[in-house]
C-alpha cells in the first residue's frame, strides 16, 4: 500500500497537467502552453521547496531527540477527554465558519470570481 501511494505521489509530481478549467470560460488556453523551462529553472521555487524540506527535517529530528512524536497529542497540551470530545464535535462548525467568512466577504465585494 505504501509503494502504491508513493508511486501515485511521484506520478502526480512528475506529470502535472494544466489546471485552467475555470479560465477556459474566458480565454483560449491553447495560446498559453505549459512552460517546463520556467518550472525547472525557477530559483525561488527550488529555494522554497528546500527551505520547507529542511525545516520539516529539523523539526522531526528535534522532536525525535526528546523521544516525542512529531505532532504532539492533545493530551500534551493538558486537554481532558471530555474537553476533547466537545472540541472535536465542534470542529466541522469551526472550520465551516472560517471558510464561510472569506467567501461571503469576497462574494459581496464582487471579487470571488
pLDDT tens-digit map of 13-53: 777 665 555 555 666 667 777 777 776 676 777 888 899 99
What pLDDT score was predicted for residue 76? 67
Domain membership flag for residue 80: yes
15, three cell numbers: 506529470
What pLDDT score was predicted for residue 100? 92
Domain membership flag for residue 103: yes
**6 alpha-carbon distance from chain centroid:** 17
Domain count, the chain: 1
Give the residue among 112, 88, 86 at the shortest CA–CA distance from 99. Answer: 112
Domain membership flag for residue 96: yes
Domain membership flag for residue 89: yes
Whether the CB-CB separation of 70 and 63 falls below 8 Å is answered with: yes
Residues 6+ apart with CB under 8 A from 17: none
In which domain, by residue range, is 90 found?
A: 74-113
Which is more confident, 104 or 33?
Answer: 104
Domain membership flag for residue 60: no
Domain membership flag for residue 41: no
- Residue 82's pLDDT band (cuts 50, 70, 90): confident
Amino acid at each position: 500500500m505504501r509503494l502504491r501511494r508513493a508511486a501515485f505521489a511521484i506520478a502526480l509530481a512528475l506529470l502535472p497537467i494544466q489546471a485552467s478549467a475555470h479560465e477556459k470560460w474566458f480565454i483560449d488556453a491553447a495560446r498559453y502552453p505549459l512552460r517546463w523551462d520556467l518550472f525547472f529553472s525557477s530559483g525561488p521555487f527550488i529555494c522554497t521547496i528546500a527551505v520547507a524540506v529542511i525545516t520539516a527535517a529539523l523539526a522531526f529530528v528535534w522532536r525525535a531527540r526528546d523521544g516525542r512524536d512529531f505532532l504532539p497529542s492533545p493530551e500534551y497540551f493538558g486537554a481532558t477527554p471530555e474537553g476533547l470530545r466537545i472540541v472535536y464535535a465542534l470542529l466541522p462548525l469551526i472550520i465551516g465558519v472560517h471558510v464561510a467568512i472569506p467567501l461571503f466577504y469576497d462574494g459581496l465585494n464582487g471579487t470571488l470570481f
